[in-house]
Amino acid sequence: MRLDRQIVLLTALLSGLLALSMGLFGLFNLRSAHETDMKRNRLLLYEQCDRQIRMQVEIALSLLEGVYQQQVRGELPPAQAKAQAAQLVRSLRYGEENNYFWIDDYKGTNVVLPIDQQAEGKNRYDFLDYKGTPAVQLALEAGRQPGGGYFDYWFPRPGEGEAMPKRGYARAFAPYEWVVGTGRWIDDIEREAAARQQQKERDMRSDLIGFVAISLVGLLVTVGMSVLLGRRIAAPIRAMANRMRAEAEGRPSEYPAEADGVEEVRELSFAFAQMTGALKERQIALVRQNEELSALYEEVSATEETLHEQFKLLLQSEERYRTLAYYDVLTHLINRTRFKEVLEQRLLEPDGTGTLLYFDLDNFKEVNDTFGHPYGDKILQMVSQRLLAATPQETTVARIGGDEFTVLMNSADTTAVMAAVEAIQTAFLTPFYLDNSRHYLSFSIGIASWPAHGEDADTLMRHAELALYDVKEKGKNMWRVFGIELDEALRKRRRLEAHLGEAVARRELFLVYQPQANAVNGTVSRCEALLRWQHPEDGLISPDAFISVAEKTGLIIPIGYWILEQAALFALRLAKRQGAESAISVNISAVQLADADFVAGVARVLENTGLPPSLLELEITESVMLADWQDSIDKLRQLRAMGVRIALDDFGTGYSSLTYLHQLPIDVLKVDRAFVQGIGHIGGRTEILSTILSLAHQLRLQVVAEGVETEEQVAFLRGSGCDFIQGYYYSRPLVEAEYAAWLKRRKS
């Protein structure tokens, strides 16, 4: 084959291969880039949809808020404001004019549904029950989360019967108890994704065609050039061959300069090398460009991701801003955050004084539990209104928690503070009426003034709260001013809490026994066991100070069984020593009786110790009964069926009512010290005491009088038919050895 043709063929082959590999390389790169692009696009589209529907709902809510504010300002009557708000939402559209909003109320009744206004006013729970879950339920669940929520549901397009999957977002508008929402059909999102995909594919195809075309043109140019070049390379060689042939045949011939020909070949090969070099460089440049492009793509996606991230953060901080915002959504009073700021500002004023009143509604939990939270919310709104009305203009009123309010006064003057407290208490004497129910509400109030009770906001708040807790503990509907002893009491309580657990193991707990004498003949065959704690640092601690700690920590359960066992063993030892039976009375706390295992636990103690049940008496108080009336009655009946006796302790304090006494499964009534102390005093409640005694006897209950200290009291009680007498008159509570000695002394 001729050299020039060989060159052409070789060049064509080489550049063809080059073009093909470049084409494949490009194709591969483009395809993979487009594929990841596609996935991202779909994901982004869904996220975009989420953001869009959330934003739209927020816009709708801010419009609602606008109308509602007109109502609050009194510019619109409530009914009209509500109707106007609904109409506003009904008319709203976004996107391609076919996206709308709906409203359901908290009960599931539809308020607005622009595409099917027949549904308005109807309950939606029985509508569109797809897969057993009504769409409205999903919407309410999502919408009533704080800050609203997304949900997936099925809903028919307007004019089409069949329900289609939809992505929704809903959020509550609390003042009207509405949940406002909107949604987009998944179908629409998919359609948009498909459209975008098609566009991308079209772009990709034209990219490829362009690429192939350029490669082909390049190929043609290269081949054309190689033809020319080949000829130019071949020409001098052929000329040389002609001359040589002519030389051989002896013909004269034009002799081209050999050096010229060689030079040309060299130049040609040089140029060829240059060309291939250039082509290679161009390929490298192309590859690099491609790399740069993908790096750029990477970078763009990264920025997009950061942007996305930032958007999320923005939403979060917006959310935070909303929850931390200064106003309480329910009552429109300032919230805890703002209140603290106001307090801090006031504390900065030089030589300033002021008072912080910390309010807590008494028994508000019952309103919530009985009537539900939305109802409770309305009551709270009424409470805040009344609180505002009862306080002077210049005071700051805040809602800082569920049923907790604070009031900030400019003065620390006792008279002024008491006047303010009285005004508020008087305002709450009038009951609250809502939905045909009447509620009497009262406040417990803790009070702290500055500079006396603290000079920074945290301390003042804590001290006012401590005073409040003390009020709550002592019986509610009262106020108290903080005193340093509260802080000390709290510290002591904390210390007791920390040590009580080890007290049993360290044998710091022990029992003392107080005799109960027969009122008629003075003989003693029964006593009450009373708990003591010998604390290594605080000395002897009375049960009044630590039983509540034991109850709170749950330690009363194990300690309670220990007490029962100790008391039973004591009674047995005593009987053995005396040669006669002795009954023992043991105090039982509410937490113990509430324990499901209690009856079985008592039976276990009796079995383990061998104490006959008839010798054990359990003392309970009325407040114990009140915790869970039926459960308490059931357990007491079971205990009595076992032969154990039940005494009602501290009768006459607390909720005492003679009328329900006959309903209680008890054997003994322990009349509280308060009644006994009245004996012999002017205005003493001796008449009531006589009545209690005669009623108790009609009910076949034995009566024990507690806290009997004087001869006079003993005489009266004996005369009134009291059965047993317990008190310092006979003896203080004694440790076992003292008790035995005391008994012995009495007998002789």
Taking the complex as a whole, the smallest distance from the CB of residue 530 to Mg ion amounts, in Å, to 7
Report helix, strand or coil for 173. strand
Q: Please confirm whether the linkage preceding 134 is cis (ω < 30° from 0).
A: no
How far apart are alpha carbons 240 and 256 in whole angstroms?
7
Tokens representing 481?
Answer: 């001013």
Residue closer to ligand C2E, measured from CB, 588 or 664: 588
- The label of the residue with tokens 């509260």 reads 486
Residue closer to ligand C2E, measured from CB, 110 or 589: 589
How far apart are alpha carbons 605 and 639 in whole angstroms?
13
Contact assessment for residue 565 and residue 504, using Cβ atoms and an 8 Å cutoff = no
**Does 714 help bind ligand C2E (rule: CB under 6 A)?**
no
Q: Which of 95, 543, 601, 613 binds ligand C2E (CB under 6 A)?
A: 543
Neighbour tally for 657: CB within 10 Å: 8
Closest CA to 70 of 57, 83, 59, 58: 83
Taking the complex as a whole, the smallest distance from the CB of residue 523 to ligand C2E amounts, in Å, to 19
| Exposure b/e, 407-430, CB count within 10 A at least 16 = b | bbbbbbeeeebeebbeebbeebee
**Does 544 help bind ligand C2E (rule: CB under 6 A)?**
yes
Which of ligand C2E, Mg ion, none is residue 727 near (CB under 5 to 8 Å by kind)? ligand C2E
Q: State the number of binding residues for ligand C2E (CB under 6 A).
A: 23
Which of Mg ion, ligand C2E, none is residue 733 near (CB under 5 to 8 Å by kind)? ligand C2E
Which of ligand C2E, Mg ion, none is residue 707 near (CB under 5 to 8 Å by kind)? ligand C2E
Neighbour tally for 268: CB within 10 Å: 18
Segment interacting with ligand C2E (CB under 6 A) among 35-43, 405-413, 576-584, 587-595: 587-595
Segment interacting with ligand C2E (CB under 6 A) among 117-125, 290-298, 538-546, 607-615: 538-546
Tokens representing 31?
Answer: 């395809």
Contact map string, positions 633 to 672, toward ligand C2E, x by CB under 6 A: ----------------xx----------------------
Which of Mg ion, ligand C2E, none is residue 97 near (CB under 5 to 8 Å by kind)? none
Q: Which of 361, 530, 668, 671 binds ligand C2E (CB under 6 A)?
A: 530
**Does 733 help bind ligand C2E (rule: CB under 6 A)?**
yes
Q: Which residues make up the interface to Mg ion (CB under 5 A)?
A: 587, 619, 649-650, 706
Which of Mg ion, ligand C2E, none is residue 396 near (CB under 5 to 8 Å by kind)? none
Q: Which of residues 691-710 bind ligand C2E (CB under 6 A)?
A: 706-709
Contacts of 739 (CB under 8 A, 6+ apart): 513, 515, 527, 574
Residue closer to Mg ion, measured from CB, 110 or 587: 587
Segment interacting with ligand C2E (CB under 6 A) among 99-107, 430-438, 713-721, 722-730: 722-730
Residue closer to ligand C2E, measured from CB, 81 or 606: 606
Residue closer to ligand C2E, measured from CB, 409 or 531: 531
**Does 515 help bind ligand C2E (rule: CB under 6 A)?**
no
Which of ligand C2E, Mg ion, none is residue 406 near (CB under 5 to 8 Å by kind)? none
Taking the complex as a whole, the smallest distance from the CB of residue 602 to ligand C2E amounts, in Å, to 13
Q: Which of 28, 130, 510, 728 binds ligand C2E (CB under 6 A)?
A: 728
User: SS3 breakdown of the chain: % helix, strand, coil, rounded to 5?
Assistant: 60, 20, 25
152 phi/psi in degrees, rounded to 5: -110, 135
How far apart are alpha carbons 104 and 739 in whole angstroms?
74
Taking the complex as a whole, the smallest distance from the CB of residue 524 to ligand C2E amounts, in Å, to 14
Residue closer to Mg ion, measured from CB, 140 or 511: 511
Q: Walk across the sheet containing 149-156 and list its strands.
A: 110-112, 101-105, 178-185, 163-173, 149-156
Q: Which amino acid is at 167?
A: R
Q: Which of residues 187-246 bind ligand C2E (CB under 6 A)?
A: none
Contacts of 171 (CB under 8 A, 6+ apart): 57, 58, 61, 143, 147, 148, 149, 179, 180, 181
Contacts of 139 (CB under 8 A, 6+ apart): 104, 151, 153, 168, 170, 179, 181
Q: Which of 589, 632, 713, 720 binds ligand C2E (CB under 6 A)?
A: 589
- Which residue's Cβ has the minimum distance to ligand C2E? 727
Taking the complex as a whole, the smallest distance from the CB of residue 729 to Mg ion amounts, in Å, to 16
Residue closer to ligand C2E, measured from CB, 236 or 652: 652
Contacts of 676 (CB under 8 A, 6+ apart): 689, 705, 706, 707, 708, 709, 713, 717, 727
Closest CA to 426 of 391, 394, 396: 391
Tokens representing 607?
Answer: 């079995």
Residue closer to ligand C2E, measured from CB, 154 or 739: 739
Tokens representing 499?
Answer: 């040590």
Taking the complex as a whole, the smallest distance from the CB of residue 439 to ligand C2E amounts, in Å, to 33
Going by the DSSP 8-state scheme, the letter that residue 418 receives in this structure is H
Taking the complex as a whole, the smallest distance from the CB of residue 569 to ligand C2E amounts, in Å, to 14
Residue closer to ligand C2E, measured from CB, 119 or 725: 725
Contact assessment for residue 404 and residue 359, using Cβ atoms and an 8 Å cutoff = yes
Residue closer to ligand C2E, measured from CB, 170 or 611: 611
Going by the DSSP 8-state scheme, the letter that residue 729 receives in this structure is T
Segment interacting with ligand C2E (CB under 6 A) among 173-181, 355-363, 469-477, 539-547: 539-547
Tokens representing 171?
Answer: 């959020």
Residue closer to ligand C2E, measured from CB, 120 or 508: 508
**Does 563 help bind ligand C2E (rule: CB under 6 A)?**
yes
How far apart are alpha carbons 676 and 691 in whole angstroms?
13
Residue closer to ligand C2E, measured from CB, 71 or 731: 731
How far apart are alpha carbons 33 and 55 in whole angstroms?
32
How far apart are alpha carbons 582 and 528 in whole angstroms?
11
Taking the complex as a whole, the smallest distance from the CB of residue 601 to ligand C2E amounts, in Å, to 14
- Interface residues with ligand C2E (CB under 6 A) are 514, 530-531, 542-544, 547, 563, 587-589, 619, 649-650, 673, 706-709, 726-728, 733
